Amino acid sequence: MKKQTKAIRTQARQSQNREHSVPLYLTSSFTFESAEQGKALFEETEEGNIYSRFSNPNVTEFVDKVCMLENAEEGIATGTGMAAVFASMAALLKSGDHIVACRALFGSAHQVITQILSKWGITHTYVDASATEAEWEAAIQPITRMVYLETPSNPGLELVDLTMLARLKVKYGFILNVDNCFATPILQTPIDLGADLSVHSATKYMDGQGRVLGGIVVGRADLIQQIRFFARHTGPSLSPFNAWVLSKSLETLDLRMERHCRNALQLAEALDAHTDVERALYPFLPSHPQYELAKRQMSAGGAIVTIELAGGFERVKAFFDALTIPSLSSNLGDSRTIVTNPNTTTHAKLKPDEKAALGITPGLIRISVGLEAIEDLIADFTQAVEKSAEVVKEQVA
């Protein structure tokens, strides 16, 4: 069967009630048929549910679906995307280890690496997304345990060549850990390209409607077992309700991403051609500096478009005030189009030199393109670009 079919038909085992839709298992714990079974479950000689911090039928169904989509051996779900990112690092790194990371990271991931892992004696080296294979290799040390990256990155939509890093992984033996949130398993499967782990904020496109929080890590069984031990005893569990919502949402992920990507490409093309837009970034625009890599590595360009407007934050404010359709939020991956200014929101805590290195300028705008009619979106963004340009000209005059 195709993955689209499996995403719809993969379900928890039907109960004696013969339900068609999987029920919610809103229970904190599960009973044992006997003392012997309780012993066997805790010894892990028998599979089964004990406590919803450990496992739950709704959570298991969600994990099974993502593992199928990502071609992963095993997985573990968490309460948020950042819990998944942190668990994928904290469970596998120890004092004295070294992590190589792409410089283009989500702000909270940057804080984990620089402010939290550093307290445990875990050092790091940043490498530009556009670095050559030799430059990546030069960053690897004898104590390098993991290479961590986002591709495409947040918010600059930089890509990293996963096949290239997979070659280095074979040579040096590090764990290749990829945040696949922007691409989703529909557009990119890092494990097929040589990654050991694929991490997601399920809050984004897996949910797709801005309703619930969730995260997931999938990949090599031996690594997931260590992450599962860490999560079981530190408690970043995904709630059964959120897992139920996310599992249902995966049934439409393929359809939604098709529309998201089509809308995003058309909006990117329109903004790229506008004379009042300094630059527009989208992986499947021929003007993107890594366009050829994007075409090799992804089946479509994703749903995020990043633009830069001249005039700094004053221009951004005027632009946001002029928009009539999009929501203003730091979230993304919703059915509704969302805009944000990373310089003052998602990456506000970064130092000026760190922002500069990532290309995060005062006039940068991240657009999470939704499922609205593309004609409406293009018209709204076009008038907002033009109106905000006029407002800034008047302020200068």
Residue 365 has pLDDT above 90, yes or no: yes
Question: Could you tell me the two tokens for 374?
Answer: 């593309």
The mean pLDDT value for 319-332 works out to: 97
> Do 160 and 16 fall into the same domain?
yes
Residue 352: other Cβ atoms inside 10 A: 8
Give residue-wise pLDDT tens across range 232-278: 999 999 999 999 999 999 999 999 999 999 999 999 999 999 999 99
Enumerate the H helices of 193-342 as residue ranges.
Answer: 221-234, 240-250, 253-272, 291-297, 312-322
Identity of the amino acid at 179: D
Domain boundary among 206, 222, 250: 250
Q: Quick one: pLDDT band at residue 57, thresholds 50, 70, 90?
A: very high
Give the mean pLDDT of 147-151: 98
Based on the fold, state whether residues 108 and 197 are members of the same structural domain: yes
Those residues whose C-beta lies under 8 Å from the C-beta of residue 304, and which sit 6 or more positions away, are 152, 154, 155, 157, 182, 264, 282, 332, 366, 367, 368, 369
- 228 and 260 share a domain? no
Domain identity same for 375 and 259: yes
CA distance between the termini of the chain:
64
Consecutive H or E run containing 124: strand 123-127
74: pLDDT strictly greater than 90: yes
Distances (CA, A) of 314 to 307, 326, 342, 368: 15, 19, 14, 21
Reading the block at residue 209, the tokens are 């409607």
Burial 81-99 (b: 16+ CB within 10 A, else e): bbbbbbbbbbbbbeeebbb
Digit-coded pLDDT (tens) for 173-203: 999 999 999 999 999 999 999 999 999 999 9
147 and 210 fall within a common domain: yes
Query: In terms of domains, do 242 and 93 share one?
Result: yes
The last residue of a domain, from among 209, 227, 250? 250
Domain C-terminal end among 221, 250, 279: 250
- Write out the H or E segment, with its range, that includes residue 77: strand 74-78
User: What digits encode the pLDDT tens for the residues 345-361?
Assistant: 989 988 898 888 888 99
- Give the model's pLDDT for residue 81: 98
Instruction: Output the domain CATH number for residue 67.
Output: 3.40.640.10
* Tokens coding 341: 């200014």
Question: Is 282 found in the same domain as 135?
Answer: no
Domain match, 48 and 113 both: yes
The mean pLDDT of the chain is 96
pLDDT at residue 393, as a whole number: 81
**Shared domain check, 123 and 69:** yes
Residues 6+ apart with CB under 8 A from 302: 152, 157, 182, 183, 184, 187, 260, 261, 264, 282, 283
Domain hosting residue 277, numbered range: 253-396
Query: Predicted confidence band at 3 (pLDDT cuts at 50, 70, 90)?
Result: confident
CATH of the domain at 294: 3.90.1150.10
Question: Are 200 and 315 in a shared domain?
Answer: no
The count of domains in the chain is 2
Tell me the whole-structure pTM to 2 decimals.
Answer: 0.95
CA 198 to CA 208: how far, in whole Å? 19
Is there a single domain that holds both residue 262 and residue 243? Answer: no
226 and 261, same structural domain? no
Give pLDDT tens digits for 213-239. Answer: 999 999 999 999 999 999 999 999 999
pLDDT of residue 397: 61
Pairwise CA distance, residues 284 & 190, whole Å: 18
- Dihedral (C-alpha) 329, 58, 5, 70: value to the nearest 10 degrees? 70
Q: What angle do CA 15, 7, 55 make, to 5 degrees?
A: 50
